[in-house]
Amino acid sequence: MATSNCWKCKAEIDEHARAMGRCGSCGAPVSRVPRANETSAGGHGEVSRTAPTLALEDAGSDTVHDRTGASVHDLIEAMRASGEQTRGEQKTRMDAGRDGNPLITSVVGPQAGATQRKEGVATVVGGLRRYKGGGFVTADGVDVEEGTGGIELPYTKDDVRMRIGAYDILRELGRGGMGVVFLAYSLKLCRQVAVKMMTSGRFASEAEIVRFQNEAMLAARLEHPHIVPVYDSGEHDGNLYFVMGFVEGTGFGVIIDAQATAKKAGERAEFHLERGLKILAKSARALDFAHRRGIVHRDVKPDNIIVDAHDEPHVTDFGIAKNVQREISITKPGAIVGTPTYMAPEQANNIADRIGPAADVYSLGATLYHLATGRAPFEGPTALAILIAVLQKLPDPPKGVAKKTLGRDLPEDLETIILKAMEKRASDRYESARAFAEDLESYLADKPVSARPVGAGERLKKLLRRNRAAFAMAMVAVVTLVFMAVGFGTVLAFNLSRTSDTLWAQDEQSGRDQAATLERAIVANMVEGRADIVRSLVDKLRKDPKVTKIEVVRTDKTLAYIDDATRAAIGQRLIDPEVRRLISAKNPGFDKQIAMLESVAFANIDASVAVDAPTFQYDDAKWRELLKQREAVAEVVDIDGVPHLTVLKPIPNGPTCQFCHGPVVESAADANPYANMYGPKNPDPENRTRAVLVVHRSQADVKAKIADNTRDTLLIGGGTTLGFLAVLFLAIKLFGVRLRPQRYG
């Protein structure tokens, strides 16, 4: 077999490369030797491979950025005017899927002119095309060396990179995940077209073939001025291709980017916003046209909306579209298709049975969000991160984002339209793409829009619904914590209360013990005749701030050991001979203590400074009851903002004390002049109580101990609770406790 050169890299094509169908140097497709069960596809519309409708995991996309505007009817009329005639009966071939629906339709018609060969040179009688600079080719793409007349082509033969059927390939327009798009010229219709060809050739999987055919089939069914049309399809050297309109323009993303550029240049960016809104409204109506024919695009985004020179949009790339009416899908369970940034939640959640026209409405809303704010609604370092954000988060408020990125005060109506279209639940969005378009048109015309802002109550419901799993987990944790808090708290409260009561009781008992000890010390010194020592001790205890405050109060509520009233009364009693005789009769040995009292104690007391005794502030009724009961009383009083335990301990007028303080009056017959030695208002006329010892004990230390105990107990209880919750969380993680996820759609 003769060798030839690769059309792309000009390397020599040997028999092995021709058998493989690819250039050995650059991998470009080349003419391949047909296999025994395969038909070489060089002619128009011959499809040598058919494939059933299968699933597809590859969600890549290709974009065509150009198109002319003539209709097929206009082209046929032009062909007739140029002398071409269609003769004979056209034959139609269809590749059928498993369900019997046609996937690819191509027409094979009679040649425009009869081709003859003379001495190895092809000549054509009619229907020729003439290149600029010389050279002829038939309408079916057969090169001829001799000919006359013909329609002149707007390019030279050297401009042709390769020929696919009846299409001259002029240049590459772009590449995608599974195909390459060329600018081509139709030799039959004499117009520019775009040819999309699979690059994987005979190595393509069945799923890739189905997706490629699906795009051609679905787009061919949609004859709409804002949807890129498909004219033809076929196979060339083992590579499937289809022919579509050539849209000369740019992607919608250029309009979005133009706003930021205008802002930097100090120009009016609102022009681009209004322009973009009009384009999106027309695109939405085009998608509604597809939806009403049972086709969902599933990959609406700025790159798939091509804007021509007249600002007319053209929706393209139906490669992952879904035929809702016939349930033709090119994805299998588990495969997620689309562009995450503009993908609807039900699409990101891979709920195939819920992906319908509302998914395209969401994508339109996401595209509008990008246009209005200058930023995509969701961004992230990876596609997975974006998908998670689409499922779990609400987009940032458009008004705030627009102000930050573009310095634009976004109108409330436009923000409402965006948020309405981007609702997480499909049922909460616009009922159709047409309704979305009508609201955009109403906004542009300064008319009321149908969408309304979401209230606070609805936002809360959506928050709970959107975070159902987290909310359920939180509820489980809260309920568990409440039960633990109630049970554990009851135990803690009981323990704390018991501990506090114990500390208070211990402090009270300590106060009573201290008062009893001081009472014994006072009585012991008084019995020994050393009243001066008692007076000095009490005086020191009053002045020492480190020692608990102590008072000795006479029964008439005046403080003792300050003035000389007691010394005078006792001195007056002891000079009575009858008293002396009584003391000698009852206790002969007590004369020694009396002598010590008169010679030493009285001298020391007389040498001290005496002042008027203040009155002890205490309720009269409670004081009389205290003297009557003659039992110690403990109570808490506030002194300078600090709680103090006050113990009032009556000192009884015992037998020995009665020598100096007078006898106890048992009855009226026993009355004696010394019974009321402290005055006629003495509340103890029976003379049973010598004085009352008052001890004040600060309870600041007790309160501190109780606070420390409470804190420690709560820390232990809180730590135990947190430990239990941690164990619960680990159990959920380790043993796979699952919560039902939110199903959007």
Task: Give me the active site residues, please.
Answer: 299
The lowest-confidence range among 73-77, 574-578, 582-586 is: 73-77
Confidence of residue 565 (pLDDT cuts 50, 70, 90): confident
Q: Give me 287's structure tokens.
A: 């998608």
- The whole-number average pLDDT for the span 688-707 is 87
Concatenated DSSP letters of 101-134: -EEEEEEE---SS-EEEETTEEEESS-EEEEETS
- When pLDDT is averaged across residues 342-361 and rounded to a whole number, the result is 87
Pair 556, 624: CB distance under 8 Å: no
Name the band, by pLDDT with cuts 50, 70 and 90, for residue 319. Answer: low
Calculate mean pLDDT across residues 220-224. Answer: 84
390 membership: H or E segment, kind and range: helix 383-392
Q: Please give the pLDDT value at position 492.
A: 77
Q: Would you state the pLDDT for residue 546?
A: 57
Q: Give Cα 288 distance to the centre of its chain.
A: 33
User: pLDDT: is 650 or 206 the higher one?
Assistant: 650
pLDDT at 366 over 70: yes
Residue 420 pLDDT more than 70? yes
Is pLDDT at 287 greater than 90 in this prediction? yes
Three-state DSSP class for residue 186? strand
Give the model confidence (pLDDT) of 523-545 as tens digits: 888 888 888 888 888 888 877 76
Could you give the CA distance from residue 300 to residue 361 in angstroms, rounded to a whole number? 9
pLDDT greater than 70 at residue 42:
no
Higher-confidence residue of 362 and 718: namely: 362
Write down the pLDDT at residue 369. 96
**pLDDT, position 84:** 36
Q: Burial, 686: exposed, middle or buried (Cβ in 10 Å; 0-12, 13-18, 19+)?
A: middle
- Give domain limits for the chain: 1-33, 41-247, 254-466, 502-703
pLDDT confidence of 26, banded at 50, 70, 90?
A: low
Residue 32 has pLDDT above 80, yes or no: no
Specify the pLDDT at position 463: 63
State yes or no: pLDDT of 83 exceeds 60: no
C-alpha span between 621 and 609 (Å, rounded): 33
In terms of pLDDT, which residue wins out, 466 or 59?
Answer: 466
CA 77 to chain centre: 61
- Would you state the pLDDT for residue 672? 53
Topology at the third CATH level for domain 41-247: Phosphorylase Kinase; domain 1 (3.30.200)
Q: How far apart are CA 35 and CA 18, in angstroms?
A: 12
321 contacts 218 by C-beta, under 8 angstroms = yes
- If you average pLDDT over residues 695-716, what whole number do you get? 86
The amino acid at residue 572 is Q
Mean pLDDT (the chain, rounded): 76
Q: Where residue 680 falls among pLDDT bands split at 50, 70, 90?
A: low
**Under CATH, which number does the domain 254-466 receive?**
1.10.510.10
Give the global pTM.
0.50
pLDDT (mean) for 665-680: 57
CA distances (Å), 713 to each of 4, 491, 723, in order?
92, 11, 15
Q: Judge contact between 297 and 61, C-beta under 8 A.
A: no
Distance CA 238, CA 226 (A): 32
Q: Is the predicted pLDDT of residue 70 greater than 60, yes or no?
A: no
Using the predicted structure, report yes or no on whether residue 59 has a pLDDT greater than 70: no
Question: 6-20, 158-172, 306-320, 606-620: which has the highest mean pLDDT?
Answer: 158-172
